[in-house]
Chain A
Amino acid sequence: MEKSGFKKSYFLLILFLLLLVLGINLGEVEVVFEKGITICLSCIGIE
């Protein structure tokens, strides 16, 4: 396959890298952390 067929791959890589960085800058890492250290009983079907 020609390397030009990978332009879409590079575009997606950059796009999702930007989204990741944007999410980190918006403080979403902290949200994941807060959720991760709490036992969510309803999330696992208890309650």
Chain B
Amino acid sequence: MLDIRRWIQIVSTVLSNAWLLFPFTKTIYQGKLKSVCVPGLNCYSCPAAVGSCPLGAMQTFFANIRPSLGTGNFHLGLYVIGFLGLLGSLVGRMPCAWLCPFGFMQELIHKIPSPKIEIPQILTWLKYVMLVFLVILLPLFVVDLFGYGDNWFCKYVCPAGTLQAGIPMIILQPQLRGLLGTVFAFKLVILAALLVAMVFIRRPFCRTLCPLGAIYSFFNKASVFRMVHHPDNCVLCKQCYRHCPMGVRFYQGANQKDCIRCLQCLRKSCKFGAISYEVAGAVPVEKKQPVKES
């Protein structure tokens, strides 16, 4: 039977991509909901998407900041920064586990039976490089004659965009096929490599490349919702690490940068009462009592 998190992931994925008339309209949803950002990575050029991707919206603000200031509009991206910061301040990286359609897909693909491998920890820092360079600095500073920049992460990397928008759009609008070039081929290679990696590695994109997860991760230690480790109850059995979809070693400390608060460790792994959570310091109702070993 599916647990509550799976149901929420399914509902979130469906709600984020609820425009099912696209096979008839042959284009994307253009209703008012597009002015609202979704909490997860979900390309707004996807024909079924009803909301906007916060990462794409943020890059757009940064890429257009010079022309915007030039015309007297101070569009700095505060709407998106405020939205992500507010969500992060409340729950940290929790949207990655419960609401992100691309994260959900990675977990499903990882269920394919195969040998599972771990990635070197150093690769988990790559997402911060992506955030700083491809989402912030390059869109801000590499601009054309008129001052417009590019959405570098969307254009050159984002596998969600390739899967949800690029491929469906060239199917829906065959005339676009003449425009395909090296960049799209490069993005297809990234997508294919990640799809293969998802079979063997736990959430490879979230852990190594996702700038949205990188943004949320800044709030893990300072959010209203926090995980708590009780070292006195911990027997270092490492079951939390084995069951963690992000490969987090919870026994080394709570609220690490890659903890997505899926609560799998609390609900399915720890029998010793070493893991709990708190909301604004309030004692959780779900805290388990430690199992005494005989």
Q: Which residues of A contact B154 (CB under 8 A)?
A: 40, 43-44
Please judge, given known A-B contacts A26-B73, A43-B155, A45-B186, whether A32 and B162 are in contact too, CB under 8 Å. no
Is B142 positioned at the interface, with any CB of A under 8 Å from its CB?
no
A residues apposed to B, CB below 8 Å: 1-3, 5-6, 8-10, 12-13, 15-24, 26-33, 35-37, 39-47
Asked if A46 meets B75 with Cβ closer than 8 Å, knowing A12-B222, A32-B37, A32-B80, the reply is no
B186 near A20: Cβ-Cβ < 8 Å = no
Decide: B52 and A43 in contact? CB cutoff 8 A: no
Interface string of B166-187 (1 = CB under 8 A from A): 1001100000100111011011
Q: How far is the CB of B169 from chain A (nearest CB, A)?
A: 7
The 10 closest A-B pairs by CB, nearest first: A20-B82, A23-B79, A16-B85, A23-B78, A36-B34, A19-B82, A33-B35, A28-B79, A3-B281, A37-B30
Q: Are A41 and B90 in contact (CB under 8 A)?
A: no
Q: How far is the CB of A20 from chain B (nearest CB, A)?
A: 3
Smallest CB–CB gap between A11 and chain B, Å? 9
Given contacts A40-B45, A45-B161, A45-B162, contact A9 B79 (CB under 8 A): no
Q: Is the interface of A mostly helix, strand, loop or mixed?
A: helix
Contact status A6-B57, CB under 8 Å: no
> Please, how many residues of chain B have a CB less than 8 angstroms from a CB on the other chain?
64
A45 touches B166 (CB 8 A): yes
State the CA gap A13–B220 with chains docked (Å). Answer: 13
Give every chain A residue within 8 A of B28 (Cβ-Cβ).
37, 39
In the complex, residue of chain A having the shortest beta-carbon distance to the beta carbon of B278: A1
**Contacting pair A13 B89 (CB below 8 A):** yes
Is residue B150 contacting chain A, with contact meaning CB distance below 8 A? Answer: yes
CB neighbours (8 Å) of A44 from chain B are 43, 45, 154-155, 158, 161-162, 165-166, 169
A3 to B279, CA, bound (A): 10
- B151–A43 touching, CB < 8 Å: yes
Say yes or no: is B83 at the interface (Cβ < 8 Å to chain A): yes
Which one of A22, A29, A31 has the greatest number of beta carbons of chain B within 10 Å?
A: A31
B281 contacts A23, C-beta separation under 8 Å: no
**In the bound complex, do residue B82 and residue A16 qualify as a contact, i.e. CB atoms below 8 Å apart?**
yes
B278 touches A46 (CB 8 A): no
Q: Indicate if the CB atoms of A6 and B281 lie closer than 8 Å.
A: yes
User: CB within 8 Å of A: which of B198-229?
Assistant: 219, 222-224, 226, 228
The digit string for B26-42, where 1 denotes a CB below 8 A from any CB of A, is 01111010111100000
Selected A-B contacts with CB under 8 Å, 6 pairs: A9-B89, A9-B223, A16-B89, A22-B78, A26-B74, A39-B169
**B228 / chain A contacts, CB cutoff of 8 Å:** 1
The answer to whether A46 and B34 touch (CB under 8 A), given A13-B86, A35-B60, is no
Closest-CB distance, A27 to chain B (whole angstroms):
7
Which chain B residues (13-54) contact chain A, with CB distance < 8 Å? 27-30, 32, 34-37, 43-45, 51-52
